Amino acid sequence: MRAPASGSEVPQVGGPALSDVLIETDASVGGRRDVLLAVLGSAPVVVVGGLFLLGGALSLGLISFWQVRRYEIVPLWTLANYVEVLTTYLPVMIWTLVVATVVALLTTVASFPFAYVATFRAGPRREVLVFLLLLTIFSGYLVKVYAMKTVLGAEGLVNSFLMSLGVIREPLSFLIYSPSAVIMTLTNTLIPLAVLPLFAALQNVPYSLVEASKDLGAGRWKTLRYVTLPLARPGIVSAFAITFVLAAGDYVTPQLLGGKSGLMVGQVIASRFGVALDWPVGSALAFTTVAASLLVIWLFAWGTRVAMARRP
Amino acid sequence: MDDTIEARARALLSRPVTRRDALKLGAHGVVLTGLGSLTASFLAACSANPSASGGATAAGASASAAPAGGSVSVITWESEHPKKALEAWSKATGITVNATYMSDSPDPLTKLQAGGLGQIDVVVAYNGFVDVMHGAGVLQPIDTSRLKNYGQLFKQFQHAPWQMFDGKDWGVPQSWGGFPLVYDGDAINNPPASWLDLKKPEYKDKIVMVDDAIGHVLIFGKALGFDPPNRITREQLDQIIEWLIELKKTNARAVALGGELADLLARHEAAIVYGQGEEVLVNARAKGVNAMLGAPREGGFSWVDSYCIAKDAPNLDAAYAFIDAAIGEDARLETATTYGTANEKAAARLPAEMQRVWAYDKLDALAQYGAFPEDSSGGFVSLDDVQKAWERFKAA
């Protein structure tokens, strides 16, 4: 059995929630030198983030309230872009959120066992597993999407295998060029990105608590449900959030595998910015998507907190 | 004929061509041609790396009045950029070409409006977008007398009407392409005789539609009797889109990027595809498909790409020298195995089979229609209306 991942003390009964204990940080940082180091250390991120992320967001935020005249953006204030988003593009927005939610849930659920095994069961091979996982990230996003075509296509691995077994006579057409193909591909692509925060969160779960739960008579599933999962909740929320945002903003996968339906908002944003030169509506779509995504993520975080707060 | 060129051209007809940036597709504009598919247009869009030009030299370019040294800043399609010929030209003239590759047609306009004026010298625009960029005030007229190779262009491309404004030239054509219907001859016994035949039950789940708003509206607008199809009302646009939605729901397998069409035929995930260019035919054949060109009676359409000089171009002399080199015989021959070339001398050096497929003897029918209006104030739908209608089609 693996030793505890950290040397955290077991909190006493009646004390603060376990997850609260574990996310506490050492607030004893002090001294001018530490402050200076903190400022200098964070400066690159602050500068780059401020200039390119915040600056870009502010710029697009302004543009989302402006208009286009003769292919040129003019600073004439209007709310029409947001009205158009909430009328013309509402069905696309809702569909995108549904697909992204399904992808994020599937990805998070599918990733958890790997992260759990790597943390608690793999022993010294843990690093190898994580390295192999990281290798899949190196393969590139587009390559993965095209690889899925060879798996899901009419003459792909799945159809060929099923036909060779005699399970089907003709290729299953829904496997590719359909919303299910988009969901499967995004899930496959995003799993490594979900495993990492889960792995990090599980690293912080004191194994002594898991053992204590079992010593007190809780079974494997009860321990998972009432000890491991609540302690890993920050990682679960992070995994969901990362995969949700990436799925909601993706436009390549639905373009290549979405078939004849299932337009997603990323495709519309790309079209508005690129082909249509309509940056104001594109920006309004982007900000509305961000707001809607934050809402979904908050709902997930709130839901998991409520669900995991229940006592046995 | 130059053996090297001929060998290269024949090789193209028998082996895959590198896939072109798929994003070019939807962005490319179009012009209806009266050409039937067999004779129609060609070319196209895809294939990323222009083939090496066997024997390509800087001869034509270096003969022009190029300034010594310096640089020229160009925004162009990567697949239309004759890299090898221009490298030789750069060595001969000392002019460095700083090429930025575009991902869609509005790219140059966006960059010029976002601070590019005074920084960028030459941009590429398709026939329907020269008008837009001219209207946006980001171009300057071109004195074609400064281009030694201008006389090598087919007469149909010299002072072409779609880029003449105020009696001046605002673009110099270099490449062109089409929108053919290609089918798998082993899977389709009776190819559609009309674009409207695509709805026949026999083609159910055999069609892959290309993701191209303008192409669809022009082709099917013409087929539905709206002529010219780039001057249609809102109701007519709605009729076209509804027709296309029905086609998609009943017979289409998918809506795909143009660069994927040949692969879809090869993987037997489609039996009929259209759009992108005759390279689909070439590539599909190279993948072992018995690919055939369809001949819908309504014909097809084509686009023509031109070099334009940006307003306030900082290196004007170098810009002229660059354009002169890039429309030259060797330079255009370098990309003529992927696209139609505007240079007559380059076309003459192609194998007869390629000349036939590209239908160089039917250039009079090229570029019949221009762009959609910039806005709908005149009662006709604008380009933006078409794009939004296409989004509705894709979401349906």
Tell me what the pLDDT averaged over chain B comes to: 82
Instruction: Judge whether residue B27 has pLDDT over 80.
Output: no
How far apart CA A281 and CA A60 sit, in angstroms, is: 10
A155 and B213 in contact by Cβ < 8 A?
no
Tell me the torsion sign for CA atoms B27, B32, B33, B35. positive
Which of B103, B136, B209 faces A70 most closely, judged by CB atoms?
B136
Residues B83, B50 contacting (CB under 8 angstroms): yes
Q: Cβ contacts of residue B99 below 8 Å, gap of 6+?
A: B74, B75, B76, B78, B81
A278 and B384 in contact by Cβ < 8 A?
yes
Instruction: Judge whether residue B265 has pLDDT over 90.
Output: yes
Query: Beta partners for B173?
Result: B306
- Looking at residue B367, its pLDDT comes to 61
Name the residue in chain B with its Cα closest to that of A74.
B113
Is B253 touching A (CB cutoff 8 A)? yes
More confident: A21 or B257: B257
Highest mean pLDDT among A11-15, A231-235, B51-55: A231-235
Tell me what the pLDDT averaged over chain A comes to: 87
A91 and B106 in contact by Cβ < 8 A?
no
Is B376 touching A (CB cutoff 8 A)? no
- Looking at residue A19, its pLDDT comes to 47
- Of A22-31, A157-166, B95-104, B144-153, the range with the lowest mean pLDDT is A22-31
Contacts of B254 in chain A (CB under 8 A): 177, 258-260
Is pTM beyond 0.80? Reply is no
What confidence category does residue A29 fall into, taking pLDDT thresholds of 50, 70 and 90? low
A70 CA to chain B: closest CA distance, Å? 7
Contacts of A267 in chain B (CB under 8 A): 394
Residues B302, B126 contacting (CB under 8 angstroms): no
Q: What is the pLDDT of residues A138-172, one digit of tens each?
A: 888 888 898 998 899 888 899 999 999 999 988 88
Identify the contact set of chain A against chain B, taking CB-CB distances under 8 A.
Answer: 70-73, 88, 91-92, 95, 153-155, 173, 176-177, 255-256, 258-261, 263, 267-268, 271, 274-278
What confidence category does residue B368 fall into, taking pLDDT thresholds of 50, 70 and 90? low
Interface probe with A: pick from B105, B247, B260, B269, most Cβ of A within 10 Å:
B269
- Looking at residue A24, its pLDDT comes to 47
Q: Cβ contacts of residue A293 below 8 Å, gap of 6+?
A: A97, A100, A244, A245, A248
How far apart CA B42 and CA B303 sit, in angstroms, is: 9
> Which tokens in the block code for residue B45?
């869009």
Q: Average pLDDT, stretch B246-256?
A: 94
Name the residue in chain B with its Cα closest to that of A253.
B256
Query: In chain A, what are the helix, strand and coil shares in percent, each to the nearest 5?
Result: 70, 0, 25
B103 and A274 in contact by Cβ < 8 A?
yes
Q: Which of B342, B376, B285 is nearest to B13 (CA)?
A: B285
What confidence category does residue A9 fall into, taking pLDDT thresholds of 50, 70 and 90? very low
Up-side HSE of residue B218: CA atoms within 13 Å toward CB? 29
> Which tokens in the block code for residue A193?
């990105």
How far apart CA B19 and CA B283 sit, in angstroms, is: 9
> Which tokens in the block code for residue A192?
């490594």
> Quick check: helix, strand or coil at residue B301?
strand
Predicted ipTM of the assembly: 0.73
A71 and B374 in contact by Cβ < 8 A?
yes
Is B246 touching A (CB cutoff 8 A)? no
Instruction: Judge whether residue B292 has pLDDT over 70.
Output: yes
More confident: B349 or B48: B349
A263 and B256 in contact by Cβ < 8 A?
no
- Looking at residue A30, its pLDDT comes to 60
> Which tokens in the block code for residue B355?
């000349």
Q: What is the pLDDT of residues B336-366, one digit of tens each?
A: 877 889 999 999 999 887 787 778 887 876 6
- Looking at residue A46, its pLDDT comes to 85
Q: Cβ contacts of residue A125 below 8 Å, gap of 6+?
A: none
Instruction: Judge whether residue A35 has pLDDT over 90.
Output: no
Q: What is the pLDDT of residues B210-229, one digit of tens each?
A: 998 988 999 999 999 998 89
